[in-house]
Amino acid sequence: MTTTTTRRHSGTADAVAGGLVTFAAVLLFIAGILDFFRGIMGIANDDIYVSTPNYVFKFDLTSWGWIQLTLGVIAMAVSAGLFTRATWARVAAVLIAGLLIIANFLTIPYYPFWSITLIALYGFVIWAMSVARREP
């Protein structure tokens, strides 16, 4: 009588988890840079944005530029933490990506294509952080 035991090789799963964290870190860094530049555009020359007189969420574009710039810098800092595989960075990545999705949703009338692109990038960051297993 022979007994067969099946072992699960976690090497592949660990590689996938590490790859997803790296993927999220790169996306968060790139999207953070884009939001940083978007903030600079709003601060330096808010005439670059399309005027929408009947928009419900109307706000001062210079102030909004500072908000975008700050959130972009935070996103880049969190991505640096993701590259070091810090646990705090995984939680912060989901939180900052969620905030930036909301921020980009509010600016859809001003720059629709850019806003939707960044929403998709931040959605991928949240997805990657949600499905990647915690590293031991």
Task: Identify the pLDDT of residue 48.
Answer: 55
Q: What pLDDT sits at residue 20?
A: 86
Q: Which residues, 6+ apart, have CB-to-CB distance to 111 below 8 Å?
A: 38, 49, 50
Neighbouring residues of 87: CB distance < 8 A, sequence distance ≥ 6:
134
- Say what the pLDDT of residue 11 is: 52
Predicted local distance difference test score (pLDDT) of residue 35: 87
Task: Supply the pTM of this predicted model.
Answer: 0.74
Any idea which residue has 């705090």 for tokens?
88
Please give the pLDDT value at position 2: 62
For each of the chain's 136 residues, which pLDDT tens digit applies?
Answer: 566 555 554 555 455 457 888 989 999 999 899 889 988 887 887 555 555 566 555 666 778 888 889 999 999 999 999 999 888 999 999 999 999 999 888 888 777 888 899 899 899 999 998 887 665 5
The predicted structure's pLDDT at residue 108 = 82
| Residue type for position 132 | A
